[in-house]
Amino acid sequence: MKKSQIFICILVLCLVQMLLNNFLNISFLLSLSLLPLAILCLPRDFPGIAALIVAFAAGLLCDFASTGNLGLESCALLPLALLRSPLLSFFGTEEGPGSKEGCPLSGMSSGRVFLLLLAGCLIFYAVFVWVDAAGTRSFAFNLLRFGLSGLASAVLCFICHLVLFREH
């Protein structure tokens, strides 16, 4: 998959995220996000500073067009963008001849992709829930929201990865 196709898929993920935020409010305990997938699918040779800028812009765009809590998703995406390279290295992306310019998740097994997406979603929701609660909700509620949202978003991101980024 070429870089231009990856960025079109990331733009589609941002648009779908805006729709999710506007029209699918399931409960206070569960919020879904596709933005961790968008950040983790940036090409492997994409510079770290550029990944931070993309994460900030995507989060701010989604916040502006949907929830109105400006900076909430940006704040949660920035640590994930910082940890993107170590996460990809830890979960062992196989480096093939074209893996530097394509989606780094394309060469991984399905189990590794799900674990990587789960770790990314949990990092995202650790910051998201902490900033969103701002000391107004109980620890048990925040822990339950963190777990449910992280797991549900990881499953949703995995399904979207299979649809958008799997090369057959």
pLDDT digit string (tens) for 35-64?
999 999 888 888 889 999 999 999 998 888
Residues 6+ apart with CB under 8 A from 54: 10, 39, 42, 81
Q: Number of helices and strands (H, E) in the chain?
A: 7, 0
Query: Domain total for the chain?
Result: 1
CB 54: neighbour CB atoms within 10 A? 19
Where residue 70 falls (left for φ over 0; alpha for ψ -120 to 50; beta otherwise) is: beta
Rounded to the nearest angstrom, the gap between the alpha carbon of residue 155 and the centroid of all alpha carbons in its chain is 12
The CA distance from 27 to 46, in Å, is 36
Rounded to two decimals, the pTM is 0.87
In this prediction, what percent of the chain has a pLDDT beyond 70?
92
Question: Range of 81's domain?
Answer: 3-164
The CA distance from 164 to 162, in Å, is 6
Work out the pLDDT band at 100, boundaries 50, 70, 90. Answer: low
In this prediction, what percent of the chain has a pLDDT beyond 90?
40
The CA distance from 41 to 165, in Å, is 8
95 has pLDDT over 60: no
CATH (domain of 119): 1.10.1760.20
67 has pLDDT over 90: no
